[in-house]
Structure 1
Amino acid sequence: MKAEIFLPDDYRPAEDEPFMNDQQLEYFRRKLIAWKAEIVEESRDTIEGMKESTRNIPDIADRASEETDRALELRTRDRERKLVSKIEAALRRIENGEYGYCEMTGEPISLKRLDARPIATMTLEAQERHERREKVHRDD
C-alpha cells in the first residue's frame, strides 16, 4: 500500500516541478475519480428519473416528445459509459506509471492538456496527426 500523498486544496501541477511526480499523479488521480463519481451519480439520477416518468401518455405528440427525450438521454448515458471506461484506463495508467506520456511518441503530454482532458493519451501534435490520418483514410 502506498503512503498517503499530501495535496494542498489549491494545488495545481506546475511546469517547474518534475513531470508526473507523486503530487501530480495524485492530483490527476483525484480529478479522474471525482469525474467518474459525478458521471455515475448523474447516470443513477437518469435511471431513477426514467423509472418515475414511465407512464402512459395519451397525446401522441407528447408521447413522441417524451420518447425523443429518452432516446437523447440514453445516447448521452452511452457516451458517458464509454467515458467512464476511458477514465478507468487513465487510472490504470497512473498505477502502471504510464500516465502523462503520449502512447504514440512516448513524449510527455502537456500539463495544460492533461488538466483540460485528463484522459488524454496523446500529445496535441500526435492527436492532430492521428486525426489527419483518420480523415485521409475516411475520404478514400
Structure 2
Amino acid sequence: MPSDDIVIRSANPEDSPTILRHRRCMFEDMGEGTRQDLDRMIDATTPWLEHALADGSYRGWLAQKTGGHVVAGGGILVSSWPAGPFDHRTSRAVIINVYTEPEFRNAGLARRLMSLMIRTLKDEGFTSVVLHASDAGRYLYETLGFMPTNEMRLRLK
C-alpha cells in the first residue's frame, strides 16, 4: 500500500482512543493475553495515557491518511532512571506502542515512525533507547541498529 498520502503527526490527548486501540491490536497480534486481560489493560491504561500525553512523559506519533484515518503509530516513554556507566542521564527512553494496521504493513510506515523517534531522542541528547520487540518487528529493529540485551523477566503473578 503506497504511503505517499500518509503524514506523520504528533499525538495529542484526544488521540488516546486510537493509541489504545492500536496497543490492544498489538498484543492481540502477538497472541498475548485473554480478552479479559486486554480489557483490564485498556481500563488501567486509559487514565495513565491521557495524563502522560498531557504532561509529556509519553510522546506519540501517528501515521494518518489524508482523510483522517490513523493507520500506524508509536511512542516514547521517558521515565526517571538511575545513571549507568555508559549513560549518565537520570532518565530512560523506551519506545512503545509501535503498531501498523495490517493492510498498511510493508509500506515503510513503522520505519518512518522509528526513524523519527530515534532522531528525536538523539536530538534531545539520549545515548540509548530500549524497546521490546515482537517477532514481526524484530527484523526492522535490527536493521535500525537495535541489539538484544541481557534483560530478564519474572512474572510475580
TM normalised by structure 2 equals 0.24
Higher fraction of strand = 2
**Which one has a bigger Cα radius of gyration?**
1
Structure with bigger helix share is 1
